[in-house]
Amino acid sequence: MSFLLLIFKNTFRNKVRSFLAVIGIAIGIATIVGLGALSNGIITSFDKTMHVGGADFSILSKQQNETGINPYGTSTFSEDWLNKIKEIQGVKDAKGIYLATLPVEGKLLAVGGFDYKDLKSRDNSLIDGRNISENANNEVIIGKLASESLNKGVGDELSIGEDKFEIVGISESGNSNQDSSIYTLLSVIQKMVKDEKSLSMISVYVEKGADIKGVAKTIEDKYGENISTVTSVSDVKRMDDLVNMIKGVSLAISLLAIIIGGIGIINTMIMTVFERTREIGVLKAVGWSRTKILSMILGESIVLTLFSAVIGSIIGVIVLETLVAIGIMGNTLNPVFTLETFIQGFEVAILVGLIGGLYPALRASKLTPTEALRYE
Partner 1 sequence: MTSIIKISNLKKSYENGNIKALNGIDLEIDEGDFVSIIGQSGSGKTTLLNMIGALDIGDEGSVEVAGYNLNKTKRLNDFRSKKIGFVFQLHNLIPNLSVVENVEIPLYARKMSGEKRKKKALNLLDLVGLKDKAKIKPTRLSGGERQRVAIARALVNEPSIILADEPTGSLDSQTSNDILKLLIDLHEKENVTLIIVTHDLNISKLANRQIEVLDGKITNFK
Binding stretches for partner 1 (CB under 8 A) = 1-3, 6, 9-10, 13, 278-279, 281-290, 292, 368-370, 373
Nearer residue to partner 1 within complex by CB, 1 or 339: 1
Nearer residue to partner 1 within complex by CB, 95 or 284: 284
The CA distance from 370 to 376, in Å, is: 12
Please report how close the Cβ of residue 282 comes to partner 1 at its closest, in angstroms.
Answer: 5
Tell the burial category of 71 from Cβ atoms under 10 Å away from its Cβ (0-12, 13-18, 19+). Answer: buried
Please report how close the Cβ of residue 352 comes to partner 1 at its closest, in angstroms.
Answer: 24
The CA distance from 131 to 145, in Å, is: 18
Please report how close the Cβ of residue 1 comes to partner 1 at its closest, in angstroms.
Answer: 5
Nearer residue to partner 1 within complex by CB, 217 or 374: 374
Q: Residues 6 or more apart from 339 whose CB is under 8 A from it? A: none
Tell the burial category of 121 from Cβ atoms under 10 Å away from its Cβ (0-12, 13-18, 19+). Answer: middle
Please report how close the Cβ of residue 4 comes to partner 1 at its closest, in angstroms.
Answer: 10
Contact 166, 158 (CB under 8 A): yes
Q: What is the DSSP letter of 74?
A: B
Please report how close the Cβ of residue 332 comes to partner 1 at its closest, in angstroms.
Answer: 51
Please report how close the Cβ of residue 284 comes to partner 1 at its closest, in angstroms.
Answer: 7
Nearer residue to partner 1 within complex by CB, 252 or 285: 285
Nearer residue to partner 1 within complex by CB, 6 or 251: 6
The CA distance from 329 to 38, in Å, is: 10
Nearer residue to partner 1 within complex by CB, 6 or 318: 6
Please report how close the Cβ of residue 289 comes to partner 1 at its closest, in angstroms.
Answer: 5
Nearer residue to partner 1 within complex by CB, 281 or 353: 281
What is the helix (H) or strand (E) element at residue 322, kind and residue range? helix 290-325
Of 262, 359, 305, nearest to 23 by C-alpha is: 305
The CA distance from 129 to 154, in Å, is: 6
b (16+ CB within 10 A) / e for 189-207: bbebbebeebbbbbbbbbe
Please report how close the Cβ of residue 362 comes to partner 1 at its closest, in angstroms.
Answer: 17
Of 187, 193, 180, nearest to 141 by C-alpha is: 180
Nearer residue to partner 1 within complex by CB, 25 or 280: 280
Strand 107-114 vs strand 182-185: parallel, antiparallel, or unpaired?
parallel
The CA distance from 58 to 81, in Å, is: 13
